[in-house]
Amino acid sequence: MSHFESHIEQILATLRDEQALRTLTPIELLQNGRYAALDDVHPRPLINLNSNDYLALHDTSCHFADEANLTVIADKLIHASMIDGIRLSGLPFERFRHNDVAQLQRLIEKHHSAESCQHIIVMAESIYSMDGDLAPLQEFVALKQQYPKVALYIDEAHAIGVRGAHGYGLCEELGLLSEIDFLVGTFGKALGSMGAYVACSEAVRTLLITRSRSLIYSTMLPPLIIQWVLAVWQALPTFTQRRAHLAKLQQLLTDELASLPAQLLPTPHSHIIPLLCGSRERARAVAQALHEEGYFIRPIMSPTVPVGSERLRISLTAGLTTAEVRQLCQIILTHLA
């Protein structure tokens, strides 16, 4: 029996034992706002924030509201929850064009030279949810090292589980975990559960525990969910073959759809691959055709994406076979080529 399967057996045994379930409380698993068991397998302290990743991103974005002399500079395409958190914080903020490192540097220099600005938080996602492209994390880290006032806030929601030697995300894959000041991830998506976390310093962890409203004023995750999260998290490093298979599926889809023009299929960089249909009607029609063949790929419409960039958002999983991906590509080519 594998390590992961043994954890599942433990969960099932707990469910069968009513007395044990009554004595299994979240407080025993969550100590001082943090999962102690997660510290053993991640190089940074971890704190659970809330029962969903929207509130986690939102709350982490706005918890510096009482800090003076702090400016936020965010990528234009960051998640809505991060934008809402920034706005709620009342902090001054600016946006830079998506993945435009030159513009980001100009904005950093503008604020870094001002005596009134003592701290700058740069916010981005490692893998972007609608385009599937990657943030230039190495260049961000270089800017942080060049400008001492800069701290990095990276959302790894779409990278956790699928990237990195241990599945800890793109920052791990690039050897940058120790350089990220706020590394936010989710227990949903690849981990198949709910809740979210931030990997951070002990000082930031303490600050979040005392100021994070969604942690303080929300109901804690149920004990069964906590057990599942711990089981999957501890099993992440064992999923190497599944991550390799997912990478092969990504390359297969890229090769099979190579005949599509770039305006329909930008160069894929991750397991999230957009097919830019150009209109709501076309996106709906292709999504319906795929649905009839057994593929559930929802069309993404404005205002989630700009008008004219309506798309199908393909999110590959390691549970797919090469035959299924090839068939998917044939259907797409029939309707979009």
pLDDT in tens, 184-212: 988 889 998 888 888 888 777 777 777 77
Using the predicted structure, report yes or no on whether residue 173 has a pLDDT greater than 80.
yes
Using the predicted structure, report yes or no on whether residue 31 has a pLDDT greater than 50.
no
Lowest mean pLDDT among 112-126, 139-153, 202-216: 202-216
Closest CA to 49 of 224, 204, 216: 216
Give percent above pLDDT 90 in the chain.
52
Residue 323: band (very low, low, confident or very high) from pLDDT cuts 50, 70, 90: very high
Give percent above pLDDT 70 in the chain.
80
- Locate 31 and state its tokens: 């100590």
Give the pLDDT confidence score for residue 33 in this predicted structure. Answer: 47
Residue 61: band (very low, low, confident or very high) from pLDDT cuts 50, 70, 90: low
Q: Give the C-alpha separation, 112 to 100, whole Å.
A: 18
Tell me the three state secondary structure of residue 56: helix
Question: Torsion over CA of 113, 114, 115 and 118, rounded to 10 degrees?
Answer: -80
Closest CA to 143 of 189, 181, 172: 181
The mean pLDDT of 279-289, rounded to a whole number, is: 92
Q: What is the DSSP letter of 191?
A: G
How far, rounded to the nearest angstrom, does the alpha carbon of residue 14 sit from its chain's CA centroid? Answer: 31
Residue 234: count other Cβ atoms within 10 Å of its Cβ: 16
Q: What is the DSSP letter of 128?
A: -
Using the predicted structure, report yes or no on whether residue 13 has a pLDDT greater than 90.
no
Using the predicted structure, report yes or no on whether residue 48 has a pLDDT greater than 60.
no
Give the pLDDT confidence score for residue 109 in this predicted structure. Answer: 95
Tell me the whole-structure pTM to 2 decimals: 0.85
Residue 83: band (very low, low, confident or very high) from pLDDT cuts 50, 70, 90: confident
Residue 122: count other Cβ atoms within 10 Å of its Cβ: 23
User: What is the overall mean pLDDT for the chain?
Assistant: 83
Q: Give the C-alpha separation, 256 to 316, whole Å.
A: 14
